[in-house]
Amino acid sequence: MDPKTVIRAGYGVSYVLFIRQGGDSYLAYNGPFVVNAQITQSPSQGLCTASSNPLTCFRPTQMGIPDGFTSPANFSTVNTKTVSVQKDIRWPYIQNWHFTIQRELKKDLLLDIGYAGNHGVGIWVNADLNQALPNAAGQSLPLKARRPNAQFDYIDANYSAGFSTYHSFQVKLEKRYARGLYILNSFTWSKAIDNASGALEMGNGDNQALNLFNFQASKALSSYDQPLNNTTSVVWDLPVGHGRRFGSSNSWFADALLGGWSLGIINTMQSGQTINIGYSPSAAFIATDGSKNSAVYRPNVIGDIYPAEGQQSIAQYFNPNNIVIPTDVTHPYGNLGRNAGRSNAFFSLDTGIHKQFRLPKEGTSLEFRTEIFNTLNKTNFSAASGDRSSSSFGRITSTFPAQQVQFALRFAF
């Protein structure tokens, strides 16, 4: 716009032309070549004998795996996971856009204000194609009896039903001083929404799988959502030594002792991570036994999920009285939204001390580095347990790393 103001904008579309969600989208990961056999059983079926069909009775651990259970010759989709991919599944794509105004406020002081966003369409997600219907009122049928297709067990199906949106307001302030001091502050205020995590990227109880009968029920804050992020970086090259303000090229020893020092600071402040609150259903409530579908079982909420002000602690991060496991077999999924909780904010100050040694031989140098991560040794708590069925529900059992110090010596020639 003028010598001190620049406007930048951009838009792009990226297509994903190869997708591999571990074994979940790999059709060769099917029987009879690969057999993932499993049986859902109940003691009420009666104990198996040596010759019993393991699908019709209860087989204790002591009896071991039935003979030929995973043999390709005995392969059956009735008791083995099947991987399925729609033949007309679409390729996902991501749209990205941004708009930024950059202004030089005064000499060596730069301000960037911008908006950036993206939108994911047709992202691959998983669901059980053979997901069972819930029990009717008064019923207590086992899982297999409620599956739509009795000839199959869990069908790990891929759907292009995933989506994501991200919007962010970004501010960057950058200042350079003539005497070796550089300051940069970057701030982001954002919101990320999707209906599933990425494959193998699940955290804090979230999952990549969806409820086959209600994909929209998982639309919520993304696991990647961290609304506030602020990072301040400071680098100061001390003005002592060869080539600096207070330097002398005549004294190699003085330069080696006093010159070439640099100090660095990175201060990070971030919102906490989302926490998906779920529960472990009993046999009558189970609609799918695929491990990746566990996140679809969420409890009911009848009030604030957090304790009253002043009562929250590392032993009781959530209020268990307001988060209730469903008791109606006809509605096993509950009314609590996905990723309804959020962990504590994260704060960390990292520092670094660097020393450059100018060696007598031209073209050689020696660098010594010391980095101190979490310099103030602040306790940053990890996410609380979101498993309502566990005795540790709402308990924080770990922290992010304490202060760590590392040293390095580098010789360049």
Q: Break the chain into its structural domains and give their ranges.
A: 81-412
Q: Which has more confidence, 24 or 122? A: 122
**What is the model's pLDDT at position 174?**
97
pTM of the entire predicted model: 0.85
H helix or E strand, kind and range, residue 257: helix 252-258
| Most confident listed range (44-53, 146-155, 235-244) | 146-155
Query: C-alpha distances in angstroms, 76 versus 29, 79, 82, 380?
Result: 14, 6, 10, 49
Q: Which whole number is the average pLDDT over 85-89? A: 88
Residue that is written with structure tokens 């980095």 in the block: 371
Q: Do 291 and 401 touch, CB atoms closer than 8 A? A: no
- Would you give the end-to-end CA distance of the chain in angstroms? 46
Closest CA to 226 of 397, 343, 306, 387: 343
User: Which alpha helices (H) appear in 99-211, and where do they start and end?
Assistant: 143-146
Q: Which whole number is the average pLDDT over 186-208? A: 90
Structure tokens at 13: 């579309």
Structure tokens at 335: 């009314």
- Provide the pLDDT confidence category of residue 55 given band limits of 50, 70 and 90: confident
- Provide the pLDDT confidence category of residue 37 given band limits of 50, 70 and 90: confident
Condensed to tens digits (0 to 9), the pLDDT of residues 267-317 reads: 999 999 999 999 999 889 998 876 555 658 999 999 999 999 999 999 999
Condensed to tens digits (0 to 9), the pLDDT of residues 365-402 reads: 889 999 999 999 999 999 999 999 999 999 999 999 99
Lowest mean pLDDT among 52-56, 172-176, 372-376: 52-56
Query: C-alpha distances in angstroms, 304 versus 225, 313, 318, 381?
Result: 21, 15, 9, 21
Q: Which whole number is the average pLDDT over 246-252? A: 58
- Provide the pLDDT confidence category of residue 356 given band limits of 50, 70 and 90: confident
